[in-house]
Chains A and B, each alone.
Chain A
Amino acid sequence: MIKFFLMVNKQGQTRLSKYYEHVDINKRTLLETEVIKSCLSRSNEQCSFIEYKDFKLIYRQYAALFIVVGVNDTENEMAIYEFIHNFVEVLDEYFSRVVNNV
């Protein structure tokens, strides 16, 4: 099950966030900074799945933009990984060249 969906740029600013479970507003910022920190610290050779507390983060980088999805333990990581790509493709379809302009 997907818990939240984040779009973050390389400077660590959140561009878009969507939570599917209630999280307090001030806790959100805390969570987001921690999530971004753990994503930014990883290199290309490392895998795109991170275990964070009791859930998993799946991230994908498009130029300067990170898309991070938080899921619970039962989710299929690879499916989410591809789902992110599908999402970006859809964005690209509707608002062409979206990835490079953010």
Chain B
Amino acid sequence: DLQSTNLVEVCMALTVVSQIFPREMIPAVLPLIEDKLQHSKEIIRRKAVLALYKFHLIAPNQVQHIHIKFRKALCDRDVGVMAASLHIYLRMIKENSSGYKDLTGSFVTILKQVVGGKLPVDFNYHSVPAPWLQIQLLRILGLLGKDDQRTSELMYDVLDESLRRAELNHNVTYAILFECVHTVYSIYPKSELLEKAAKCIGKFVLSPKINLKYLGLKALTYVIQQDPTLALQHQMTIIECLDHPDPIIKRETLELLYRITNAQNVTVIVQKMLEYLHQSKEEYVIVNLVGKIAELAEKYAPDNAWFIQTMNAVFSVGGDVMHPDIPNNFLRLLAEGFDDETEDQQLRLYAVQSYLTLLDMENVFYPQRFLQVMSWVLGEYSYLLDKETPAEVIAKLYKLLMNDSVSSETKTWLIAAVTKLTPQAHSSDTVERLIHEFTISLDTCMRQHAFELKHLHENVELMKSLLPVDRSCEDLAVDASLSFLDGFVAEGLSQGAAPYKPHHQRQEEKLSQEKVLNFEPYGLSFSSSGFTGRQSPAGISLGSDISGNSAETGLKETNSLKLEGIKKLWGKEGYLPKKESKTGDESGALPIPQESIMENVDQAITKKDQSQVLTQSKEEKEKQLLASSLFVGLGSESTVNLLGKADTVSHKFRRKSKVKEAKSGETTSTHNMTCSSFSSLSNVAYEDDYYLNTLHDRGDKELKTFSLNSELLDSESLTELPLVEKFSNCSLSTPSLFADNSMEIFHPPQSTAASVAKESSLASPFLEETTEYIHSNAMEICNNETISVSSYKIWKDDCLLMVWSVTNKSGLELKSANLEIFPVENFKVTEQPGCCLPVTEAESTRSFQYSVQIEKPFTEEILSGFISYHMMDTHSAQLEFSVNLSLLDFIRPLKISSEDFGKLWLSFANDVKQNVKMSESQAALPSALKTLQQKLRLHIIEIIGNEGLLACQLLPSIPCLLHCRVYADVLALWFRSSCSTLPDYLLYQCQKVMEGS
């Protein structure tokens, strides 16, 4: 039908293609559909574009080569075709906005035409020109202009125009306005536009129409992340919405409040959220809300009592549906504590007390998770209590244990808690009763625990050493090699038992025996007897004592240990205000006035409000009170951020100093020496007095003396000789210093030819590497007046190594430079050691190395990050960059034999075939394959006549095989792989290579 001359048939065929075609069948029709893009009828062109859009959605690799044709579609004379192509562009720009910046101009012109009413009248909807088209375009512009000033500047005019035009009183214009506001706030900000957008939001929020109100709240939620002061203008409306009868509006308002929460208003907001939580029944809502409350509580809790009570509420409502991370985090927080020991104790004590009162209440059912948390806390921290003895706590736990509604998992938690408390209780009837009761339990797990408790109870000394008080956070030394069993094993061996064989070895033996039909059964049973001997009863009891200990007391601890790397938000921002003010010496002076100003403004606003509404009812006043409590300190949110930042910075410094410590003192001193001599050299070269002074000002004694030296030398004319000598000494010592650690390469620019030195310093870090691996050329990815960053790819055998080298162009010294990579879902990026640079001298280059590993196949992905650096005397600054990575970076030759190729070939299910025309230069098979080998890193296994076998692998280990055959000037490619997307991708790359050369 696609080839039919009847228009209707073609239309139908195209529709069907886009609706039902599976991935595998796309190559069959793709050329036909591509042809249809040039069809004379616009409806066919449009449908072809839509079909290709659908293909792009299900298999982006296969339509990669026709991207240029989409551009043609975008410039089509028919509006429908152009509109259809927007879908594809929206999608592609979402994935990779930097690749389409050049199209911004076209999008802007299109939008201008649409807004200006240049489209045919058919596209009008209630006299609004093509509203959905406008929305689509606005969305694209928003994505393109994000954080990009230059692109954003192109769109200011048209955005202004559409804001102005969309004044008709119709729903669809509101939709356009909403999208406009969204775009205005996503792109690089311009104050006039922001003002207009804010006005629009005001109109929305104040509208009596409920749908508009919803839209306004949604816009406000988005906008508030950029500009929290807007919330102040609308605070009364927000309060009204909070008490709105419609739960959807209420929920949207809570979402908004969640975004503006800070340390001052957290209590009120969390209270509101809890109220809503109590009313809602839908599971999805509860899970979502509980997570948010827990997060806020951890971040901003004003005091212990409030925190524990909020978490109690969260646990009792959220119960068993909530995310398991919440109780885990909570327990970790309790166990690890903060820097202040007394605070910790108070928090724990309060938790224990509140749980005891909760347990005292009769006929209340708590969710299992909550009971588990309670039992752990009581088990660990009951010793903090003065009044109640451990025996009383045990009695309470015992009562719970006998309760039928408690699940067996929770019961094991309870028993573990009892076990922990027993050594402190000296003697307790309850424990004995419990042991008596549960040693005959039908649940094997419970019985096991009861027996453990029984044996431990008989030997109190051992118990005390096994279950120390308040040690939950200390590392348990686990003897992983089980060396204490060595004696036992030796004994077993001497008695004729066979040595233990690991599982895979046994399996291999089993297999080989099956193959040769060996009827000798004893060889096998020997090995198994060796195995069972190891697991004999004595081993079990001994092992379970130890592992029982670690399994019980360490049940949560192991969890917490794993999670240690995660930042403790609570301790850093909300909970320890005293500490912050200490660390932020410089920043401390700044935020305070700001805060007070904001608070003044806040008060002024409320005062004004009050004077206006003196006559208003009491209810109104209450609302205002609520408002002021909700929005207090909202303006100071920026200062909170500031403090947070300062804190992280100081944290980084600490880490850095550790790195320094790790190096031997000798190394640092020589390092300093080299540094200073380099800098003094560059002084000589530039004769920059200012620089000398800054150097001079530094506290470092050694450096001081050196700079003094150089100053002296500078004044005389006989400078060069001694310095150069020194310099050469130092530079001789540097390679040896850094030989073991290739990351820390420090290349001095030579005073005579700085530029040449720079070049060489860029290239030389890779001299060592490149002897082994192929690498790409250096490419400058971003720069400003002080630094420039260039990147390289090194294709190592097991991963892709990304190297960013930072060159300090200014004459000033960089105090520190830090590279951070944004997480990407398809990769695992690992930092190589030595990525924090303590000091980067003027005119020098440093490099960062990251190894990149692929987690999920993709075609094209952007790895972006930023470098933050700190100049000697000025503030810190950031520079963003991004690097394109293609799947090709992860393809490595696979060296296998022809036989293996045959075996593998049959085992793979996904195959793709395609014929490619060869250019004349490579008409012979060997030369064609050679290009593939060079460009795509395929391994040529064998060439037989007019056929060739090639293989490669996608890291870490997904093989792909290629079979080629030549007929005249056509090369038939046949790919097979275990991965479904890989053949498609490689085929595309092969086509590109063959056509290109």
Contact = CB atoms under 8 A, between A and B. Distances in A.
Interface in A76-91: 76-79, 81-83, 85-86
Interface centre among A46, A49, A51, A82 (most CB of B within 10 A): A82
B174 A78 contact: yes
Contact of B171 (A45, A46, A47, A78): A78
A76 B175 contact: yes
A51 B171 contact: no
Nearest to A89: B125
Contacts of B210: 45-47
Contacts of A85: 171
A14 interface: no
A44 B64 CA distance: 48
A46 B246 CA distance: 6
A48 interface: yes
Interface stretch (B211-219, B620-628, B713-721, B966-974): B211-219
Contact of A45 (B212, B215, B246, B251): B246
A83 B211 contact: no
A47 B175 contact: no
B248 A49 contact: yes
Contacts of B212: 78
Interface size grouping (class) on chain B: 20 to 34
A97 interface: no
B280 to A, nearest CB: 11
A82 B211 contact: no
Given A76-B179, A78-B174, A47 B132 contact: no
A82 B171 contact: yes
A79 B246 contact: no
Contact of A79 (B132, B218, B249, B251): B132
A48 B132 CA distance: 19
A54 B210 CA distance: 22
A27 interface: no
Interface string A33-73: 00000000000011111110110000000000000000000
A85 B171 CA distance: 10
Contact of B248 (A50, A53, A76, A83): A50
A78 B211 contact: yes
Contacts of B245: 45-46
B131 interface: yes
Contacts of A47: 210-211, 213-214, 246, 248-249
A49 B171 CA distance: 14
B135 interface: yes
B89 interface: no
Contacts of B251: 51
A62 to B, nearest CB: 15
Interface in B139-173: 171-172
B249 A78 contact: no
A76 B214 contact: no
B179 A79 contact: yes
B965 to A, nearest CB: 38
Contact of A48 (B131, B172, B176, B211): B211
Contacts of B179: 76, 79
A75 to B, nearest CB: 10
Contact of A81 (B125, B135, B211, B248): B211
A49 B213 CA distance: 11
B300 to A, nearest CB: 25
Nearest to A38: B282
Interface string B189-213: 0000000000000000000001111
Contacts of B522: none
Contact of B178 (A50, A54, A76, A86): A76
B519 interface: no
A45 B210 CA distance: 7
Contact of A82 (B172, B213, B218): B172
Contact of B172 (A46, A51, A78): A78
Contact of B131 (A46, A49, A53, A82): A82
A86 B125 CA distance: 8
A40 B348 CA distance: 49
A54 B171 CA distance: 25
Nearest to B211: A47
Main SS class of interface, B: helix
Given A46-B210, A48-B211, A79 B248 contact: no
A63 to B, nearest CB: 19
A51 B175 contact: no
A37 B175 CA distance: 27
Given A46-B210, A54-B284, A83-B132, A78 B125 contact: no
Contacts of A79: 131-132, 135, 172, 175-176, 179
B175 A82 contact: yes
A6 B363 CA distance: 46
Nearest to B285: A51
Given A81-B171, A82-B131, A82-B171, A49 B211 contact: yes
Nearest to B182: A76
B178 A78 contact: yes
Contact of B175 (A49, A54, A78): A78
Interface string B239-261: 00000011011010000000000
A49 B214 CA distance: 8
B215 A77 contact: yes
B193 to A, nearest CB: 19
Nearest to B94: A74
A82 B248 CA distance: 20
A69 B282 CA distance: 20
Nearest to A52: B284
A51 B227 CA distance: 26
A59 to B, nearest CB: 11
Contacts of A82: 125, 131, 171-172, 175
Nearest to B176: A79
B259 to A, nearest CB: 15
A27 to B, nearest CB: 16
Interface string B110-131: 0000000000000001000001
Contacts of B132: 79, 83
Contacts of A49: 211, 214, 248
Nearest to A56: B248
Contact of A46 (B135, B248, B284): B248
A31 to B, nearest CB: 13
A83 B135 CA distance: 12
Most buried by B among A46, A50, A54, A77: A46
A18 to B, nearest CB: 11
A79 B170 CA distance: 11
A17 B246 CA distance: 28
B171 A76 contact: no
Contacts of B172: 78-79, 82
A78 B209 CA distance: 12
A80 to B, nearest CB: 8
B249 to A, nearest CB: 6
Contact of A53 (B215, B218, B249, B284): B284
A77 B209 CA distance: 14
Contacts of A76: 135, 175, 178-179
Contacts of A45: 210, 245-246
A79 B211 CA distance: 12
Contacts of B249: 47
A51 B289 CA distance: 13
Interface in B852-871: none
Interface of B: 125, 131-132, 135, 171-172, 174-176, 178-179, 210-215, 218, 245-246, 248-249, 251, 284
15 contacts: A46-B210, A46-B245, A46-B246, A47-B213, A47-B214, A47-B249, A48-B211, A49-B211, A49-B214, A76-B135, A78-B174, A79-B172, A79-B175, A81-B211, A82-B172
Given A77-B175, A79-B135, 7 more contacts: A46-B245, A46-B246, A78-B174, A79-B172, A79-B176, A82-B125, A85-B171
Report, nearest first, the 10 A-B pairs whose CB atoms are least far apart.
A78-B175, A79-B175, A47-B210, A82-B172, A46-B246, A47-B214, A47-B211, A53-B284, A82-B171, A79-B135
